[in-house]
Structure 1
Amino acid sequence: MSEIRLSTTSYVVLGMIALRGPSTPYDLKRAVGHSVGYFWHFPHAQLYSEPERLAELGLLELSAEQGGRRRKTYTLTPSGQAALRDWLASPTNEHFQMRDIAELKLFFNEVGDPADVTNLAHEQIKQHQQRITVYEDMVDRFGDSRSARPRMITLELGLEMEHAALRFWSALADGQLDRLRAARRPSS
């Protein structure tokens, strides 16, 4: 197993099949779009190529239809289950990655018009409010489901991050960044 190189996308595929059961690449694309796609972005074309690679490595078993649409369905093998469990048990020393175009624009703001920052802040407020609504709807729909409960932890983290971003952009739009900084300082 140590010679096999697996990417995060490999583990997304293994994890999705572990949670869903036998899946086609299209099933994986839809499942990712309704779950980890909210916080882990990658080209969905990888969901068509990666299962095939994992099958070649013996981590997935391929079952292909002989006629009709010739759909390919992948199932987790015991080796795939072991690889996924090893990955889940290993520590993660990397800090989370954020690829936020709005933050990038904010970094270069001195080159543009000062009004652009205000406009950017107002647009970000709307976007974060919309995402909070989506996440809260998910909590309402799936919060009491026993099978979804372990994954609700991820949703709670997503909500916290969205609320933090909303606080920042709201303070920026209102000219209140000093208030936000003061709120973060520990009281003496």
Structure 2
Amino acid sequence: MDEVRLSSTSYVVLGMIALRGPSTPYDLKRAVGHSVGYFWHFPHAQLYSEPDRLAELGLLELAVEDGGRRRKTYSLTGAGRAALRDWLAAPTDVHFQMRDIAELKLFFNEAGDPENVAALAREQIKQHRDRIAEYENMQARFGADPRAEPRMITLELGLEMEHAALRFWTALAEDDLDSLRAARRPPA
């Protein structure tokens, strides 16, 4: 097979089918919404087009129902499993990317309007508290020990990031960024 360019969405599709087994695009959309969708955002319409492309590349096998809705179900091929395995084993040299609209708004708050900043901070505090509660609820449902359920280790990273964001927005709302900076300094 010639050099094939696979995107992160390609690997989401391959990975989900590897975990779930044969899946329709709708199955993929639901599975992503309840798992990696919490931390990896992309247009879910891609979950309807990407499987066809991967099938054309020989990475997925396509089965279409004979009657009814003629639903498409995709299964992982040996080549698809190998592509996923190679991707998982390859080093990741791409730096962490954070795409946060609130951070963008904070950056472009030209006038430095304290009321806008305070309102943004209050909104972010609520959102991060809500997400922390949601993640902690997941831990309670699925078990807090990531060694027992390895895929839950990503929840630990998500919680850490949410707590860091909550600390930042709270310090900003309380006009206490100095304490946030001091907490980051290593002890002397």
The question of whether the paired residues in 1 share the 8 Å contact of 2:62 and 2:73 is answered with: yes
Structure 1 residues 146 and 179 mapped into 2: Cα distance closer, same or farther (>3 Å)?
closer
> Secondary structure of the residue that 2:5 maps to in structure 1?
coil
Mark the runs of 5 or more structure 1 residues left unpaired by the alignment: none
Within 1, Cα distance between the matches of 2:144 and 2:178?
Answer: 40
For this pair of structures, how many residues does the alignment match?
A: 188
Q: Secondary structure at the match of 1:110?
A: coil
Structure 2 unaligned segments of length 5 or more: list them. none
1:24 matched residue in structure 2: 24
Deviates more, 1:6-15 or 1:101-110: 101-110
Name 1:68's counterpart in structure 2.
68
Tell me the equivalent position of 2:166. Answer: 166
Change (3 A) 1:146 1:107: closer
1:8 is the counterpart of 2:28: no
Change (3 A) 1:151 1:105: same
TM (norm. structure 2) is 0.96
Tell me the residue number matched to 1:40: 40
Counterpart residue type for residue 158 of structure 1? G
Q: Secondary structure at the match of 1:3?
A: coil
What amino acid sits opposite 1:4 in the alignment?
V
Please give the secondary structure, in 1, of the residue aligned with 2:110: helix
Change (3 A) 1:147 1:180: closer
Aligned residue identity for 2:176: Q
2:182 — aligned with what?
A: 182
Contact 1:142 1:148 in 2 (8 A): no
Aligned equivalents of 2:141, 2:158: Cα separation in 1? 16
Indicate the larger mover: 68-77 or 112-121: 112-121
Runs of 4+ in 1 over 4 A off after TM superposition: 144-148
Alignment root-mean-square deviation, CA: 1.6
The change in CA–CA distance for 1:180 and 1:2 in structure 2 (over 3 A counts) is: farther
Residues 79, 163 of structure 1: CA spacing in aligned structure 2 closer, same or farther, 3 A cutoff? same
Are 1:121 and 2:125 matched, yes or no? Answer: no
Percent identical pairs in the alignment equals 79
Q: Which residue of 2 aligns with 1:111?
A: 111
